[in-house]
Amino acid sequence: MQRRSFFAGAATAVAAASVSRVALAALPEPASQSSAETAAPLVPPNGRPYRPVVTLNGWTTPWRMNHGVKEFHLVAEPVVREVAPGFSVNMWGYNGQSPGPTIEVVEGDRVRIFVTNRLPEHTTIHWHGQRLPNGMDGVGGLTQPHIAPGKTFVYDFVARRPGTFMYHPHADEMTQMAMGMMGLWITHPKAAHPLIANVDRDYAFLLSAYDVEPGAMTPRVNEMTDFNIWTFNSRVFPAISPLVAKQGDRVRMRVGNLTMTNHPIHIHGHEFEVTGTDGGPVPKTARWPEVTTDVAVGQMRQMEFIADELGDWAMHCHKSHHTMGAMGHDVPTMIGVDHRGLVSKIQKIVPDYMVMGERGMGDMGAMEMPLPDNTFPMMTGTGPFGPLEMGGMFTTLKVRAQLGASDYRDPGWFKHPQGTVAQEWTGAPPDSTAPRQTAPGTAPRAPSVRKPGTDGGHGSHH
């Protein structure tokens, strides 16, 4: 499903229809991106050098150097995000995508960001985690007037400390973040930093969640808890790019959480350390090894590890429903329900009916059932051994022995060395005489035969 193709920097420059060229004459041309594929890292053409990040299924915006000032132009606008092939969502984003482009600068850079509003309502941008003059903090009504539709505002400050940050609106933010308005901001250290390691691979993504009614295209912005689309950078498994690494690479993952709940981000086969938060690098004495770290709401985490174990390793949010696509949260559990004699009768009334959930929901991962248009299935994705039964905040870390330093392409499925895959036991059969202790619907030690006529009354069960 995932086609890993890299776009060299910003793909196309699109001038807005609603903002005239004359009005934009003094502004940097806004770069725009139409693809949801992962773009190649943007090697800085000017300014202080740094090692760029890779934004999963995203891109880094180019800038214009203007008398030593890095000038960016963000355009807030409605976009259609391909959350997965065949599943597109109406969102609000920046420069053609949600999330917006990653802004990469170097500690000490003077930054000027032009923000043009092409939304139907006012907005602002808050530079989450930055040290800056109060009036540049982007809180509508508090530190600045709102940016009315059609207007362009300019933010001007110095990126004072290195780290992982993000940007998002601080005006009608419940709606605007539910619609996907967000982006990453990476400030690279200007020189070697004792707490910031040089890494070989630097991946960045934001966590966001949406509630899209099956068959609809626009998220329900009034939802507060019951989301059904859980994304890394507004993409879901299997449409999220894998993180690839050459064996022995030091890998950094930068994760920011703009959903309304926490996400225990978990990686298989390796242990990592949280080396930084949006507060800055973590002192070495405060780091401890983990395989899961919780990224709370509104937080950012930098995790680092050595990718020394070959294979295709799962990397996902450990809340199991966050690795599910859209599903009915009110559907009753059907496990263990005897359907004998009923299926053909139901099919007389509803010809396309099939039993589902009788043995659990795993069937869903394998079945290709027709769904409402533009609906992301609950379980999907196929691996080399069968259905993955995932959909949401899930991707893979692919560690390979042979990989070019700047090669980020999907290397395909891992070829396991002989004898290293779990397999069916072919020895003596298991002891089948072990009795089953309880039957479904019956409490342990409950009498196995009920007296006729007593099973309708309260209190007769115990």
Contact residues toward another protein (CB under 8 A) are: 214-215, 326-328, 330-339, 342, 345-346, 348-350, 352-354, 356-357, 361, 364, 369-372, 375, 377-378, 440-442
Q: Pick the closer one to another protein by CB: 86 or 357.
A: 357
DSSP 176-228: HHHTT--EEEEEE-SS-BTTB---SEEEEEEEEEE---TT--S--TT-SS---
Considering the complex, what minimum distance in angstroms separates the CB of residue 348 from another protein?
7
Separation of alpha carbons 107 and 191, rounded Å: 9
Q: Pick the closer one to another protein by CB: 195 or 356.
A: 356
Separation of alpha carbons 403 and 408, rounded Å: 9
> Phi-psi category of 222—alpha, beta or left, where left has phi over 0 and alpha has psi -120 to 50?
alpha
Token pair recorded at residue 91: 């969102």
> Phi-psi category of 17—alpha, beta or left, where left has phi over 0 and alpha has psi -120 to 50?
alpha
Considering the complex, what minimum distance in angstroms separates the CB of residue 454 from another protein?
15
Q: Pick the closer one to another protein by CB: 285 or 333.
A: 333
Q: Pick the closer one to another protein by CB: 21 or 462.
A: 462
Considering the complex, what minimum distance in angstroms separates the CB of residue 388 from another protein?
17
Helix ranges restricted to H, 263-367: 343-349, 363-366
The closest alpha carbon to 76, from 48, 56, 104, 95, belongs to 95
Considering the complex, what minimum distance in angstroms separates the CB of residue 342 from another protein?
6
According to DSSP, the residues that pair with 432 across neighbouring strands are: none
Separation of alpha carbons 332 and 328, rounded Å: 9
Token pair recorded at residue 376: 């992301």
Cα distances from 48 to residues 25, 110, 170, in angstroms, run 27, 12, 30
Considering the complex, what minimum distance in angstroms separates the CB of residue 2 from another protein?
22
Considering the complex, what minimum distance in angstroms separates the CB of residue 355 from another protein?
8
* Residue with the two structure tokens 């299924």: 57
Considering the complex, what minimum distance in angstroms separates the CB of residue 460 from another protein?
13
Angle at CA of residue 379, ends 364 and 362, nearest 5°: 40
Considering the complex, what minimum distance in angstroms separates the CB of residue 87 from another protein?
12
Residue 129 is classified by DSSP as: T
Q: Pick the closer one to another protein by CB: 352 or 424.
A: 352
Q: Pick the closer one to another protein by CB: 368 or 431.
A: 368
Angle at CA of residue 363, ends 4 and 37, nearest 5°: 15
Q: Pick the closer one to another protein by CB: 349 or 434.
A: 349
Asked if 7 and 54 touch (Cβ cutoff 8 Å), the reply is no
Q: Pick the closer one to another protein by CB: 430 or 456.
A: 456
Contacts of 257 (CB under 8 A, 6+ apart): 206, 207, 263, 295, 296, 297, 298, 299, 300
Considering the complex, what minimum distance in angstroms separates the CB of residue 151 from another protein?
41
Q: Pick the closer one to another protein by CB: 300 or 326.
A: 326
The count of residues in the chain is 462
Asked if 31 and 62 touch (Cβ cutoff 8 Å), the reply is yes
Considering the complex, what minimum distance in angstroms separates the CB of residue 213 from another protein?
9
Q: Pick the closer one to another protein by CB: 236 or 315.
A: 236
Asked if 373 and 387 touch (Cβ cutoff 8 Å), the reply is no
